[in-house]
Amino acid sequence: MNRLVVPGYRSVCKSRTGRQGGGVALLVKEDIVFNLVEPVVLPLHTSYDGIFIAIPQRAGPDTVVGALYRPSGQSVNDFNDELVILLSNMTKNKGRIMLAGDLNIDLLKINEHGPSQDF
């Protein structure tokens, strides 16, 4: 259910599956044309929730915009592995990709935590 309403924007939401509450969303200005993108990744990714849109460009490939959420209890190693697959899949057409989100990775501790450094 979409309960996010901001005047002048369209909300694109994806609820969390398998659990109550949560999910990810993007707010897109009403005058921006976009298409929802459902990346095909196998095996299915479980370390994050994500939502993606493609914004057509006048010349060249679409620009993909995405929002990710990695719950703090998920393995950073698994997330890193799945992120590599996701980015490889989504950049095949050589277009731009912009990602934002809450990844719950403490970048201040990259010297003490190998998976954070790998990220």
pLDDT at 112 over 70: yes
Going from N- to C-terminal start, the domains of the chain cover 33-118
Give dist(CA 108, CA 119) in Å, integer.
Answer: 12
* Band of residue 50 on the pLDDT scale cut at 50, 70, 90: very high
pLDDT digits (tens, 9 = 90+) for 101-111: 999 999 998 89
Provide φ and ψ at 52, rounded to 5°. -140, 145
Could you tell me the pTM of the whole model?
0.85
Give dist(CA 27, CA 60) in Å, integer.
Answer: 24
Q: What is the pLDDT of residue 92?
A: 81
